[in-house]
Each structure stands twice: as structure tokens, then as C-alpha cells.
Amino acid sequence: MKVTEHIEKAAGRTLFSFEIIPPRKGHHIKELYENIAPLMEFKPPFIDVTTSREEYVYIEKKGLLDRRITRMRPGTVGICAAIKHKFDVDTIPHVLCGGFTKEETEYLLVDCHYLGIDNVMALRGDAMSHQKYFEPTVGGHQYATQLVSQIKDLSKGVYLHNVIETDYKPDFCIGVAGYPEKHLEAPSLQSDLKRLKEKVAAGADYVVTQMFFDNQRYFDFVSAARAIGITVPIIPGIKPISVSRHLQLLPQVFKIDLPEALIKEVERCKNNTEVRALGVEWCIQQSKELLAAGAPSLHYYSMGKSDNIKAIATKVF
Ligand SMILES: Cc1cc2nc3c(=O)[nH]c(=O)nc-3n(C[C@H](O)[C@H](O)[C@H](O)COP(=O)(O)OP(=O)(O)OC[C@H]3O[C@@H](n4cnc5c(N)ncnc54)[C@H](O)[C@@H]3O)c2cc1C
């Protein structure tokens, strides 16, 4: 079922959903199942599975370093299919511009269609770790908007190199990213919102936001989006802080602000066990307020660990 259908069916009730990251290669999918299983009692209608960009590895050969490309966490579509069938839940693969040619993207989407996956999240992806700015892959897309158009074309039978007349067209529900504190490269929040509107005009059906720790950021973002005519559901993405290093790491990686009150409370914690408990408590308060405001779903960034998300969901849902 499509995310938009799940939201419609819920008729105003806030849903519980979450995102997981594929394990590093060499690990068993059992670890992932064990993390997901405790969250299934909260009946998530959909689970997102991230895709990581390729990375360089350097292999020493006769005293010289040979640079090779690898993926540390491959398998997004396979994991989506496995979870979908094991837990009978909709799964959403994240599809990236970076690292994929348009043809590779088409193959991936065809796989998703054959596997009965109804939703995809269309993202540009970040720059590779050695790059300062995102550089489009040769033969790939530069912006998520173009990827959305490619996905949308399939619903009309328009493939990259041919048009196929059939009743069995891949008609994906498409999610895209939104940034309550603006994307790091956008010159202003308003300009970023205009870009978001372009993604929706190209065919995006819903938005999931970057994490935020002050709900007012989300409320203002939704108001500003509605003011410029973005009408699709905007799902808040939230994450409980779990280690004190997050105070530096989250602003650095995601270019977000942390509220003063949260910083003070983290600084008062004696160890990371206390930080984890504080993160859960903060996220419960955030969740309750978002739920009261009628958010379509509360979408948790689980980062592969479910104990804190379960503690939050137990108090909120
Ligand atoms: C919910 C969510 C899930 C994510 N999942 C993943 C994941 O699984 N894997 C991963 O690698 N990353 C993921 N990301 C991170 C994302 O890939 C990065 O934030 C990336 O830098 C931007 O992606 P985007 O899809 O928002 O890009 P875009 O929408 O393409 O925007 C990128 C930048 O370009 C600007 N822009 C857009 N169109 C134009 C234009 N025509 N001209 C000029 N400027 C333009 C925008 O304002 C923005 O600053 C996720 C982010 C979110 C919020």
C-alpha cells in the first residue's frame, strides 16, 4: 500500500514509522530482524531502509595505493523485500542520484516493482567523503527533482529508452526530503522551500523531514510550505539523542541547531547511560506535542538500535 493511502486510512490518527540502515556487509540479516521485531507491536505501516553512497578504499599493491570503489552497506532493495515478507509491512527503499546512472536506477526501480514495493524515497545523496560538494555521477541525476521525474515517468510507461504500453505500470508513491532548518547548500530557507515545491510538482507525494529537536522548527516549516502551495503530507523525522558526542556530531553532519535547554541537560549528564535516558525523555515530549498537533506519522531515525525507540513508542502510542 502507498504511504499516502496509509495516511488517508488512518483518518487523522498519527502513525508510527521508522527508518533503519542496512548492516555492514558480512553481517547477518538476523541482527536487523532482532532490532525490528520489538517495534512491530506498534504496528508501523511502513519502514524506510536507507541507501549509503559508495566509498573509496585504498589497497596497497607493491608499495603503491590502489584506489577502489566499494559499498559498506549494500543490499537496500534485498533488505526491503526480506522485511516486507517477514513482517508483512510496507518497506521503502531510499533511491539516490549519487552513485547511480539513470539506467542503474531504472533497473533498481524495476526490481522494486517486481518485488511488490509500492513506495520509494527519492534523494540526491550527499557528496562522497573526499568531496567538498556533491558531484553528479556521470550518466546520473544532479538533483532529486530529476530523479522524481524519472520515477514518475514509469507510471506512464515511459522508460529511459522506450515507451511500454501495458496495464502493469510501476506507479510508485514517492517521498522526498524536506529541511525545517534548510538544506546546508541552500542559500535560504525560502529558496530551499521553492526547490521542495519543484520536487512536489515533479511528482513527489509526501515529504519526510530532516531531524529537528525543537518542534517549533517543524511547525514553522509546515506553515511556510503550506503558504507557498505545498499541500502533500509532511512527516516529521525525529531522533533521540543517545551519546554526548551528538552535541557536536549532529550539527556538524546535519547542519541543525540544538535547543539550549537540551544542550544544558546533556552537559549535566554524568555518562552516556544518562544521556540515552535524557534523549528518550526529550523525544517523548517532542512526540507527544507533534501527535497533539496532528502530524501524519512520527518517523523515527532508529540507527539500527530499537531499545530507545521502543521506550518512546510505549509512552506515546
Ligand atoms: C528523510 C531523509 C532521508 C535521507 N536518506 C538518505 C539516504 O538513505 N542516503 C543518503 O545518502 N542520504 C540520505 N539523506 C540525505 C540527503 O541525501 C542529503 O541531505 C542530500 O544532501 C540532499 O538530498 P535531497 O534529496 O534533499 O536533494 P535535493 O532536493 O536535490 O536538494 C539538494 C540541494 O540542491 C538545491 N536544489 C534543488 N534543486 C535545485 C536546482 N534546480 N538548482 C539549484 N539548486 C537546487 C536544494 O535547495 C538543496 O540545497 C536523507 C535525508 C532526509 C531528510
Does ligand 1 lie within 6 Å of residue 55's CB atom? no
Does ligand 1 lie within 6 Å of residue 236's CB atom? no
Phi, psi of 273 (to 5 degrees): -65, -40
Q: Which residue minimizes the CA distance to atom 9 of ligand 1?
A: 51
* pLDDT tens digit sequence for 263-279: 999 999 999 999 999 99
Is the sign of the CA dihedral 130, 77, 140, 152 positive or negative?
Answer: negative
Q: What is the pLDDT of residue 62?
A: 85
Report residue 131's pLDDT band, with 50, 70 and 90 as the boundaries: confident
pLDDT for 55 beyond 90: no
**Which set of grid coordinates corresponds to residue 222?**
509546515
In whole angstroms, what is the distance from residue 234 CA to residue 196 CA?
Answer: 11
Testing ligand 1's pocket by substitution, the residue of 47, 123, 145 carrying the most ligand atoms inside 8 A of its CB is 123
Q: Which residue minimizes the CA distance to atom 6 of ligand 1?
A: 50
In whole angstroms, what is the distance from residue 315 CA to residue 288 CA?
Answer: 9
Does ligand 1 lie within 6 Å of residue 117's CB atom? no
Supply angle C-alpha 295, 297, 299, rounded to 5.
120
Pairing assessment for the beta strands 173-178 and 206-209 based on DSSP bridges: parallel
Testing ligand 1's pocket by substitution, the residue of 3, 124, 135, 141 carrying the most ligand atoms inside 8 A of its CB is 124
Q: Which residue minimizes the CA distance to atom 37 of ligand 1?
A: 195
* pLDDT tens digit sequence for 80-129: 999 999 999 999 999 999 999 999 999 999 999 999 999 999 999 999 98
Q: Which residue minimizes the CA distance to atom 16 of ligand 1?
A: 125
Query: What's the CA-to-centroid distance between 142 and ligand 1, angstroms?
Result: 10
pLDDT for 285 beyond 80: yes
Does ligand 1 lie within 6 Å of residue 195's CB atom? yes
Closest CA to 136 of 148, 124, 147: 124
Q: What is the pLDDT of residue 56?
A: 85
Q: In the beta sheet, which residues pair with residue 206? A: 175
Q: What is the pLDDT of residue 79?
A: 97
Query: What's the CA-to-centroid distance between 66 and ligand 1, angstroms?
Result: 31
pLDDT for 22 beyond 90: yes
DSSP of 272-317? HHHHHHHHHHHHHHHHHHHHHTT-SEEEEE-TT--HHHHHHHHHH-
Is the sign of the CA dihedral 200, 213, 211, 90 positive or negative?
Answer: negative
Does ligand 1 lie within 6 Å of residue 182's CB atom? no
Q: Give the mean model confidence (pLDDT) for residues 139-161.
A: 98
Residue 66 or residue 148, greater confidence: 148
Does ligand 1 lie within 6 Å of residue 96's CB atom? yes
Q: What is the pLDDT of residue 132?
A: 87
306 residue type, one letter: S
pLDDT for 234 beyond 80: yes
Structure letter (DSSP) for residue 166: -
Query: What's the CA-to-centroid distance between 265 and ligand 1, angstroms?
Result: 31
How remote is the C-alpha of 77 from its chain's centroid? 14
pLDDT for 72 beyond 90: no
Q: Which residue minimizes the CA distance to atom 15 of ligand 1?
A: 125
Q: What is the mean pLDDT of the chain?
A: 96
